[in-house]
């Protein structure tokens, strides 16, 4: 691992500059033109074969480096989208730089020993993540192992995330004067409010790990007009894809009941991409954590999380982990200005180097140790969706 660390330290000035540049130029999902170009320029400089704007996603990329000798296909995933208002409060500036740095270090190994290295530039993790499109279109079907790092206040093992279905209900009724002729109207807002009430009743009978939460996106134009149209947006989250289908049907029935009770029509659709639940490959995760511990890094068990990640979609199609690396010596909540600024500290740079070394060594071990790779793949084949 010492050789990998030495190479990572050689690259640190460039990686630090990349992270700082993206920090200084925060861009929202699918608008990361400066950020993606900074990644692409650096990857082209180091001799990667570039696929630009894959699947018509202008700010995505796929960087490949193929060795002359046979070996496994190893994938890293980079993110670089920011949050509205606070910039890189989720630390994707350093996330992307870390994944790219790991690719640059692993490239030297692949050039000498063989295998194929792929770095995915994945926009819009915070909204309608590009990893979903990549997974749906078969980009991971030949990948043997995938790793996406993420900054945190401390080092945490790769854990779970909830599957997410974003569903929008649109109710159509009939307008009328709410005071002089209310009997002539069909109230679309009532249908939506009944949907919320039905969902509230449903919560008593769902698994404790599931979540259903929503907003009124559109509810009428004026208090004296019976609303002709209403729109509600909901997130339905579950621990598994199988339970998602069961719960989603019940939530849709809640909306159907609201429409039936009021005489409205109802339509529904996914208004964002669906995220699958994250299935950490525990064999790979334990091996990765062990490498960090060999470097003297303390790794904490995964945090209980009720959020959702587009990395979950990747984990359903190839063995994957999403480990967290520390950028602080005290607790800092994500999606805050404090977390954003912590990505520029010396501790963050130390976390980046440690993570690059572990990411590279984990891939090297999978490429060189058939027993480890077989165990990783066996666990993946027997995973629970």
Q: Does residue 384 have a pLDDT over 90?
A: no
Query: pLDDT digit string (tens) for 75-96?
Result: 999 999 999 999 999 999 999 9
Residue 59 has pLDDT above 70, yes or no: yes
Separation of alpha carbons 264 and 245, rounded Å: 25
Q: How far apart are CA 38 and CA 96, in angstroms?
A: 11
Quick one: pLDDT at residue 14? 98
Number of Cβ within 10 Å of residue 355's Cβ equals 29
pLDDT tens digits, residue range 185-216? Answer: 999 999 999 999 999 999 999 999 999 999 99
Residue 264 has pLDDT above 90, yes or no: yes
Provide φ and ψ at 300, rounded to 5°: -95, 145
Q: Is residue 316 predicted with pLDDT exceeding 70?
A: yes
Q: What angle do CA 94, 96, 100 make, to 5 degrees?
A: 115
Q: What is the mean pLDDT of the chain?
A: 97
CATH number of the 2-160+276-381 domain: 3.40.630.10
What is the pLDDT confidence band of residue 1, given thresholds at 50, 70 and 90? confident
Q: What is the DSSP letter of 184?
A: G
Of 143, 99, 155, 154, whose CA–CA distance to 125 is shortest? Answer: 99
Q: For the domain 163-270, what is the CATH code?
A: 3.30.70.360
**Residues of the chain with pLDDT > 70: what percent?**
99
pLDDT at position 132 over 80: yes
Neighbours of 199 (CB within 10 A): 21
Does residue 307 or residue 147 have the better pLDDT? Answer: 147
| Angle in degrees, CA 266, 269, 274, rounded to 5 | 150
Q: Over 70: is that where the pLDDT of 152 sits?
A: yes
Q: Where are the domains of the chain?
A: 2-160+276-381, 163-270
pLDDT at residue number 385: 63
pTM of the model: 0.90
Looking at residue 211, what is its pLDDT? 97
């Amino acid at each position: 691992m010492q050789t990998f660390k030495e190479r990572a330290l050689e690259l640190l000035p460039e990686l630090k500059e990349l992270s700082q540049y993206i920090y200084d130029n925060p861009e929202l999902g699918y608008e990361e033109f400066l950020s993606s170009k900074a990644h692409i320029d650096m990857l082209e400089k180091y001799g990667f074969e570039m696929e630009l704007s894959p699947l018509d996603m202008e700010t995505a990329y796929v960087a490949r480096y193929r060795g002359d000798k046979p070996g496994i296909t190893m994938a890293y995933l980079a993110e670089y989208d920011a949050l509205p208002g606070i910039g890189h409060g989720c630390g994707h500036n350093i996330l992307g730089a870390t994944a790219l740095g790991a690719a640059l270090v692993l490239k030297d190994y692949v050039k000498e020993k063989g295998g194929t290295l792929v770095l995915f530039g994945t926009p819009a993790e915070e909204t309608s993540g590009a990893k979903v499109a990549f997974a749906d279109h078969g980009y991971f079907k030949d990948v043997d192992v995938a790793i996406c790092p993420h900054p945190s206040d401390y080092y945490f093992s790769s854990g779970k995330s909830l599957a997410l279905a974003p569903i929008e209900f649109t109710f159509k009724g009939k307008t009328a004067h709410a005071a002089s002729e209310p009997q002539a109207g069909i109230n679309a807002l009532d249908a939506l409010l009944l949907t919320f009430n039905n969902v509230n009743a449903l919560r008593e009978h769902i698994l404790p790990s599931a979540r259903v939460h929503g907003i009124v996106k559109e509810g009428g134009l004026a208090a004296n007009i019976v609303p002709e149209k209403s729109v509600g947006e909901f997130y339905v989250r579950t621990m598994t894809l199988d339970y998602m289908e069961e719960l989603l049907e019940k939530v849709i029935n809640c909306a159907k009941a609201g429409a039936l009770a009021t005489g409205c029509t109802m339509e529904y659709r996914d208004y964002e991409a669906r995220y699958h639940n994250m299935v950490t490959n525990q064999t790979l995760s334990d091996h990765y954590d062990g490498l960090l511990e060999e470097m003297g890094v303390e790794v904490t068990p995964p945090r209980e999380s009720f959020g959702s990640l587009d990395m979950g979609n990747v984990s359903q199609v190839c063995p994957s982990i999403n480990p967290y690396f520390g950028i602080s010596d005290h607790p800092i909540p994500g999606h805050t200005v404090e977390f954003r600024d912590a990505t520029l500290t010396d501790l963050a740079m130390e976390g980046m180097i440690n993570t690059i070394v572990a990411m590279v060594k984990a891939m090297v071990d999978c490429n060189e140790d058939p027993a480890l790779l077989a165990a990783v793949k066996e666990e993946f084949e027997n995973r629970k969706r």
